[in-house]
Structure 1
């Protein structure tokens, strides 16, 4: 069993209020073009014409060699954090995604990274979690390596 975890609401609200991103900069404001602008909080595509934020995100609490930082999008207006049992919208719009397992030390567990077809995400998550040294998984864009969501054991 696993759970797809979106960015925490307090962190997102701070960014929506103009708080600093992973590089200490204020999020940029832009207008969504629709598909291709996935919000990492509600895990839906930001509707075309709606305001969005573009910012640097590091999904790790501390900097270290494996703490990747990259661009993400968020809805500019408050949205509800994704909490569901189904695959979220943003993980159904691309033909494949990069999945990687991480240990308790927030470092990549070698041998877990794989570009996975969208219809095999659930099976790949189960395969990665079969390893006892994996604490959690990141789902990233297979094309641009952008962080999409975290996967935790339930």
Structure 2
């Protein structure tokens, strides 16, 4: 099975760029990137030193429910082009490993799918998880802080 890495939807990013609130109903904070550790969830590239960054609470789920994790993410303050869905590992995945975890069609965690996976093995592990009938999509999350990075879908 082929997989594709998907970024935050442009409509969600546009709401924030146009002054909208985050998952907690707050306006995003603005910081300046020092060049390290600010992965944009829309273009899936790191935000360069000196660029303004939006810091916000993000919930990559359509509705509130017990498994709808919310956490901090970064977004370029100036609109950027959305990452083209592809099989290639996104530029933001620079750590040695990440949590990879499957979710069902009701946005609930599918138990037994989550594990810390070496970065280079993510596509293969995601394909293995997505081959299950009970898994609709996969999240990639930080292995250290559990922060949402991106979503993986079947190609």
Q: Same fold (TM over 0.5)?
A: yes
Q: Alignment partner for residue 88 of structure 1, among 65, 71, 90?
A: 90
The answer for the alignment partner of 1:29 in structure 2 is 30
Partner Cα distance (2:153, 2:73) in 1 = 20
Partner Cα distance (1:65, 1:137) in 2 = 17
TM-score by length of 2: 0.96
TM-score by length of 1: 0.97
1:84 Cα deviation after fit = 4.4
Which portions of structure 1, spanning 4 or more consecutive aligned residues, are displaced by more than 4 angstroms? Answer: none
Name stretches of at least 5 consecutive residues in structure 2 with no aligned partner.
none
* Number of equivalenced pairs: 153
Aligned CA-pair RMSD: 0.8
Name stretches of at least 5 consecutive residues in structure 1 with no aligned partner.
none
Alpha-carbon deviations, 1:101-144, whole Å to 9, x = none?
00001000000000000111111111111211000000000000
